[in-house]
Structure 1
């Protein structure tokens, strides 16, 4: 039933369609079942009048003497159909239809495992780039400088050794060492001379006689309890050792050199010959190579002491900047998997459930503001409102709330 309010010039009644819950916060699909709504027709001042086709008086809008009656809808002045710019599976939706939400509150979140992995990878790359930048800015470590200095010293020592080998005195010294080693080897092959055998046999006999004398002296006191502390015991031990050594020497001379002695002497000869060959065969090219190694080692040391070039620092800084940008890009991609409320309002509709796929650009949440409301109509013509002027009184009744009448 319509409620009509008369004015001295014109009477306007707006009848709002059923399905609008003015006090409860639930909105008919923005808000009703009429589909897309048109922009309102507004008067110049704050007392805006919007009118539409009346469903209570037939399909046509009624225009009578001083009365305009129209059907309209009450809609929030601020409303939005919300979605995301990426496609994904809905993993979290912490709100329900009818919930009041604050600006910035999370409305839904897509599965973001891939995006989180990309963020972790970008963070690691940024840390690597930052570490590299810190390294080049710090320059060479003390350990690296010490190692380079040691390399220079080794190269210098090698050069000095080569140069020393070219001296005539050094060659003669190595020739003498070779001759001595060869003489010792030859002596082993020749064996002991007759005179050496006679001398060795005589020494063994003398040692035996001394042993017998010491044995007799010991026998005279061996009955004593303190015999171990007597000089006769020490003399017997010394005589025994001397005899065994002399006898072994004599036996060695009779048997000739052992294979081990010959092998050791032969090795001495080979070492002496190799040293002489090294000294004798040193060429000017060897000296040049050693000098080049000294220069190379010194250049490496100088490079470390000079510090990092500005170009290297600039390159490392560019790597940090690129890694930072990549991380920001990854964070943006992660943020795109979440939908937050752009303003305070009420969740009017949720179009998806957890586990369903959201397509980029698809409306997932319909949000209505809690502030001002608007009265909207769709098909009033300007001929029907030709007599209306700003400031005229308007009356509102609501089919869903029969007892509510508003004028203004």
Structure 2
């Protein structure tokens, strides 16, 4: 048993010494070290900003898309109705503001003058009748009921005259500044509501942001979707990056701007890339990365931008990296 333990310890020491010798020898001899990583392509989850019923989906999985290309549509009828309603409300408030700004028409003032003249004449006639009845009622020549009727008619005529005069004064005074300010604020709110309705109508059309390939088609025509839910997932064609990891002894060889060669199992010729950034924090090697080093070794993540990427590089594909110089 002790002999087995001793042999195991000797083998572990030999492996550790071989690994340290390999790293040091690579640095001293100038041979390019090997790094391992995975292709990391950005994905976009496309979704409508408004809820509704899906009218059509124009792309299948695997189809290519171009920037601003339409990929799906919602039933736009409810949002078109909302735009029409908001537009009608805005036109109504525009007419009201124009009416207040233009002031009273001369025809309205002339009509108010004539109305005042008529009420003044009626008031004068009612006054004369009332005064005549007032003189006769004391001698008993006129019934008390007729006198009360004449007095009520006179009071009514006087009230109508005063109302007509007030209406004329109001027309002559014109529109108050507060009314115009209120009408302007209402019109601004109506324009904002119209703009919002037009934006929601435009959001019933789903477009691709950049050139890419459809990975998944989540919805079908007739489906009811909520705002923000994913309808299609698109893999962007550019940029294509590789996420790789470097152990601490080789960290000095990895720096932004350095050229690298990217090898895949399906292509004999390498791709050309350039290191973009190096993480400032150490981490454990992910299990998805197949390396020759121990899993427990701390590594630093760095990212390589592939300059001549094509359709041969797929999301998550394992690759091997070698430094060019």
TM-score range, shorter chain: 0.5 to 0.7
* 1:9 and 2:16 correspond: no
Is the Cα contact below 8 Å between 1:395 and 1:405 reproduced in 2? yes
* Distance verdict in 2 for CA 1:147–1:373, change over 3 Å: same
In angstroms, what is the RMSD of aligned CA positions?
A: 3.6
Alpha-carbon distance in 2 for matches of 1:393, 1:10: 15
Corresponding residue for 1:395? 261
Corresponding residue for 1:124? 88
Corresponding residue for 1:231? none
Task: Tell me how far 1:385 sits from its aligned partner.
Answer: 4.1
Which residue of the other structure, out of 63, 79, 91, is the alignment partner of 1:98? 63
Task: Tell me how far 1:111 sits from its aligned partner.
Answer: 2.0
Hey, which of these two has a bigger chunk of strand by percent?
2
Alpha-carbon distance in 2 for matches of 1:362, 1:118: 22
Is the Cα contact below 8 Å between 1:11 and 1:393 reproduced in 2? no
* Distance verdict in 2 for CA 1:346–1:328, change over 3 Å: same
Task: Tell me how far 1:285 sits from its aligned partner.
Answer: 5.1
**Residue-by-residue CA offset, 1:97-138 (whole Å, 9 max, x unaligned):** 432412x33332222322222221111111111111112222
Which residue of the other structure, out of 295, 298, 306, is the alignment partner of 2:165? 298
**Residue-by-residue CA offset, 1:251-297 (whole Å, 9 max, x unaligned):** xxxxxxxxxxxxxxxxxxxxxxxxx99xx847455434323322211
Corresponding residue for 1:404? 269
Is the Cα contact below 8 Å between 2:104 and 2:174 reproduced in 1? yes
**Residue-by-residue CA offset, 1:157-192 (whole Å, 9 max, x unaligned):** 212333454787xx9xxxxxxxxxxxxxxxxxxxxx
Corresponding residue for 2:206? 339
Is the Cα contact below 8 Å between 1:10 and 1:392 reproduced in 2? no
* Distance verdict in 2 for CA 1:156–1:121, change over 3 Å: same
Q: Which has the higher contact order (CA 8 A, sep 6+)?
A: 1
TM-score between the two structures when normalised by the length of structure 2: 0.59
Corresponding residue for 1:89? 53
Corresponding residue for 1:373? 240
Is the Cα contact below 8 Å between 1:162 and 1:287 reproduced in 2? yes
* Distance verdict in 2 for CA 1:290–1:394, change over 3 Å: closer
Alpha-carbon distance in 2 for matches of 1:389, 1:319: 63
Corresponding residue for 1:112? 76
Corresponding residue for 1:189? none
Unaligned runs of 5+ residues in structure 1 are 1-5, 13-67, 172-275
* Distance verdict in 2 for CA 1:296–1:358, change over 3 Å: closer
* Distance verdict in 2 for CA 1:347–1:353, change over 3 Å: farther
Q: Residue 364 of structure 1: SS of its match in structure 2?
A: strand
TM-score between the two structures when normalised by the length of structure 1: 0.49
Is the Cα contact below 8 Å between 1:82 and 1:366 reproduced in 2? yes
Corresponding residue for 1:308? 175
